Structure 1
Amino acid sequence: MAAAALVSLALLVLGSLQGELAAAADAHNSTAKAVHNSTAKPVQISARNFTSYALTVGTKENVGYFASWGDWNPSQGALSGIPTYVTTVIMAFCQPDMTFTPGSFAGTGFQYLDENYNTVKQQIANLKQKGTRVLIAVGGANYAKWTALNTGALASFVKEMGFNGVDIDYEPPFDSVSCTTSNDVPSCTSDAEFTNVISSIRAALPRPIIVSLAAYSIGAYGWGDYATAQPIGTHTGMSYNPLKIQGDKLDLINIMSYDADNQYSPITAYQSYQALLALNGLFSGKIVLGVSSQLECCGHQLSYNELTTYANWLNANNGGGAMLWYLGPRAASVPGTPTSTQVAQFFCTSFSFGGCSDPLFTCDGCASTNALSSVMDPYGAVALGQQVAMASVKTVDAVLPPRNYGQPNREPPIWTEPRFIHQG
């Protein structure tokens, strides 16, 4: 097929995918009241089966995000085929201001077509049946209307789809957040909203439903032993007040340890979150260290040496585990660096799990077969029952500049989730 035709096909498909989305799973019996921040009646959230997926003390987590925009043909079973060494799958993303009508992904922000609704729901149920927790991520870099957070719709979505919980990806527009420190106490313009987001979502989704947080890399810096931890930026201490106040509402902290500049130490960040959550005194969940297997927002490529360092440190210091952004059939963008499967398998082996030789997907990397070298990920390939390698297509994040010192967490202005494919 000609390159122009492939591009047109891809853009047509992606245009329809950009609209609406969703997730799924089985309904439950026992109930708990879910609080709604609108005037609608609170929904009833089932708790049955959630307890069996609790975060077990003393065990490691191997968390992975699953991109709804990359699951082109859910009937192939990529989701439910994820091996059990991935302990928690977080499906990305739904909108904070979402609306939800059972049977449709319209209004949720989830990147699936309505025709796949029942298939996706069954795939989630299949994955849960294997003992894997499945969460829905709300927010992310593209969905930032937190002032219109609709916890009622979110709770209904969780109930209908049978998710084990919600992952809060609170990422307001970058330039809207500014943090300062006075007398060893960080203060941010986002404090009130961030704190309310955590408390409102937990109120709508009472335990044993899981609520996790995708935490900013330098969010626990700016105080105590971490007052001058590098790098220092406008988001230094962004998590301080919200987690000091509401940390006990969370079960899992996924540190985004891949979106700060080269001065940054993921291990120091992990320690800073440990210390911060100890201030609350009630946090009994887990903290996991996040990695990315590809060049993502800030130009850092993960190496095997880094993986070894992180795994050894987590094992030696009783760390909670690791998180991977993100799960997907994708090839390494730099020869000799690990793919998503290899990262997940590495932590599986390091944490002494079983079945570590199993790939994340049976076609790992195949989505980018024959794709141009300028396409750094299979964002540039579309699967329509078969893998289609596209020529002359670049993703927005394929041409990003390297990390900039002094601007941790700064996603360049052109960056967006890789759901949008542009012509080169």
Structure 2
Amino acid sequence: MARYKNHVADGHQGHGRTRRLLTRHAGWLLACLSAVLLLAGADNARAKERRHFLAYHASWYETPAATAEATTLAGIPGFMDIVALAFARPDAVYAGDLDISRTGLQYPYPGPLLRDAIRLLKKRNPGTRVVISVGGKNWHRFDEHALARLVRDLGADGIDLDFEPEDPACTTLPAGKIVCGSYALWTDYIERIRAVLPRPFLLTVPVWSVGAYGEGAFAEDQPRSPWTGSMLGVLRSSAARHIDIVSIMGYDAGPRYDPERAFAAYRSVWSGPLLLGIASQPVDPSSPVPTAKDVARLMATARRDAKGGAMLYALRVCSPETGCQHGTDYRALARDMCLAMRLDGCDRQVP
């Protein structure tokens, strides 16, 4: 009996030690799991907070190449996380087989090589997405089906809808509200593109410099132009739910234009990612060429916004090789924008 009691006591002590051991191990495992979840949460937060840098790639200035590795497109650094291929036509003719000759894109190499360059760019920079920028004339022959085929066949990630009507037909009503005849066209093109390219395909929209002026606190902002308020109705419409990113063409509006004020105006009507654009070569010679100090100030405005980002128009435009009488070397401008936005990888060479 005594031996039995001792055996039982020893057994209880053994179970006690086991419970204490399991408790310690459980605590250790819980601590490890908590640490993993915290790190995962931090990674997710960083992913959500990533600042977008959209850069247009001028196809007409691309250099001829025989391999994907030799293209400048494939060498774009990762801090430019959205690359817009400029420009496909709204009435692009594309039946398939990667024949891009009638799409409007002016790359000096065939479609299969363009597809391979996009693949290589995305392999080198897994976070980079490529969109096809649609711009130019003949919007009345807009062919969303041809554009969607082109996006899919090239392995691109969506469309940049660069619709710039020659006359937005805007009127200010007596109550101070702006209405534009171009609103219906905008919403039609947005709805049609999203119907053929549902998410996760991207739909990015570059918007006119003064397109959010003309009402409320921004009613008197200058300069006044036919495009004043031309995006207000679009961004307030139900079609706006289909847009992923808005980028402000913060240039070519003359010396009185204030891009920082325009950013505030657009933010008042658009809550999503909003990019402030800078041009390496403004078309309007009266528009000031941004200095390094200007870039730092403008990008600081975007950086202070939780969803602010940068847009550059355009890579390959304005350089010693291509020539530029009124502008800034796009490579230096890209680096300055990256540094001002405090992005990673700003030391990467822009080809």
Distance 2:251 2:329 in 1: 15
Q: Which residue of 1 aligns with 2:16?
A: none
Contact 2:252 2:282 in 1 (8 A): no
The runs of 5 or more residues in structure 2 that have no matched partner are 1-45
Which of residues 320, 327, 334 is equivalent to 2:308? 320
* 1:184 is the counterpart of 2:176: yes
Instruction: Provide, for residues 254-294 of structure 1, a one-character-per-residue CA deviation record: whole Å limited to 9, x for no partner.
Output: 1100121211111111111111125xxxxxx3110000122
CA contact (8 A) 1:62 1:344 kept: no
Matched, 1:89 2:77: no
TM-superposition CA deviations, 1:47-96 (whole Å, max 9, x none): xxxxxxxx953221121100111113133221001111111110001111
| Aligned pair partner of 2:152 in 130, 155, 159 | 159
SS in 2 for 1:74: coil
Q: How far off is 1:212 after superposition?
A: 0.4
1:326 corresponds to which letter in structure 2? A
Secondary structure of the 2:86 match is strand
Please report how far the alpha carbon of residue 359 of structure 1 lies from its aligned counterpart in structure 2 after TM superposition: 2.0
Find the counterpart in structure 2 of residue 120 from structure 1.
114
Taking only aligned residues, the RMSD between alpha carbons, in angstroms, comes to: 2.0
Deviation at 1:319?
A: 4.7
Deviations, residues 392-411 of structure 1 (Å, cap 9, x unaligned): xxxxxxxxxxxxxxxxxxxx
- Is the partner of 1:277 in helix, strand or coil? coil
What residue is the counterpart of 1:264 in the other structure? 257
Between the aligned partners of 1:80 and 1:202, the Cα distance in structure 2 is 27
What amino acid sits opposite 1:112 in the alignment? Y
- Aligned residue type for 1:344: A
Contact 1:164 1:209 in 2 (8 A): yes
1:250 CA drift (Å):
0.5
Residues 116 and 255 (structure 1), Cα distance of their counterparts in 2 relative to 1, 3 Å cut: same
Is 1:354 equivalent to 2:332 in the alignment? no
Write the deviation string for residues 349-389 of structure 1: whole angstroms up to 9, x where unpaired. Answer: 2233233122211xxxxxxxxxxxxxxxxxxxxxxxxxxxx
In 1, Cα distance between the equivalents of 2:85 and 2:75? 14
Unaligned runs of 5+ in 1: 1-54, 279-284, 362-424
Q: Corresponding residue for 2:101?
A: 106
1:136 aligned residue: 132
Query: Counterpart in 1 of 2:186?
Result: 194
Q: TM-score, structure 2 length as denominator?
A: 0.79
Sort the Cα spacing of 1:334 and 1:359 in 2 relative to 1 into closer, same or farther, 3 A: farther
1:168 and 2:161 correspond: yes
SS in 1 for 2:74: coil
Deviations 1:287-320 (A, max 9, x none): 1000012243444312112101112222233352
Question: Partner letter of residue 259 of structure 1?
Answer: D
Q: Deviations over 1:179-199 (max 9, x none)?
A: 111123211121211111111
Deviation at 1:347, TM superposition (A): 2.2
Do the aligned partners of 2:276 and 2:299 also contact (CA within 8 Å) in 1? no
Deviation at 1:125, TM superposition (A): 0.8
Name the amino acid aligned to 2:187: T
The answer on 1:203 being equivalent to 2:195 is yes
Q: Could you tell me whether the CA contact under 8 Å between 1:59 and 1:320 is conserved in 2?
A: no
Aligned length: 294
Decide whether the 8 Å contact of 2:255 with 2:286 is kept in 1.
no
**In the alignment, residue 233 of structure 2 is paired with which amino acid?**
N
Residue 229 of structure 2: aligned partner: 237
Amino acid of the structure 1 residue aligned with 2:296? T
Q: 2:283 aligns with which of 291, 296, 304?
A: 296
Q: How does 1:60-71 map to 2 (within 5 A)?
A: 60-71=51-62
Per-residue CA shift, 1:31-51, capped at 9, x if unaligned?
A: xxxxxxxxxxxxxxxxxxxxx
Please state if 1:148 is matched with 2:141: yes
For 1:318-343, what per-residue CA distance to the aligned partner results, in whole angstroms no more than 9, with x for missing partners? 352110000117138469x7421112
Code of the residue aligned with 2:189 in structure 1: it is: V
Q: 1:163 is aligned with what amino acid?
A: A
Q: RCO greater where, 1 or 2, for CA within 8 Å and sep 6 or more?
A: 1
Aligned identity (percent) is 30
Is contact 1:82–1:360 with CA below 8 Å preserved after alignment?
yes
Which structure has the larger Rg over C-alpha atoms?
2
| Helix, strand or coil at the partner of 1:80 | helix
1:120, CA displacement in angstroms? 1.2
> Per-residue deviation at 1:137?
0.2
Q: Which has the higher helix share?
A: 2
Q: Which amino acid aligns with 1:313?
A: T
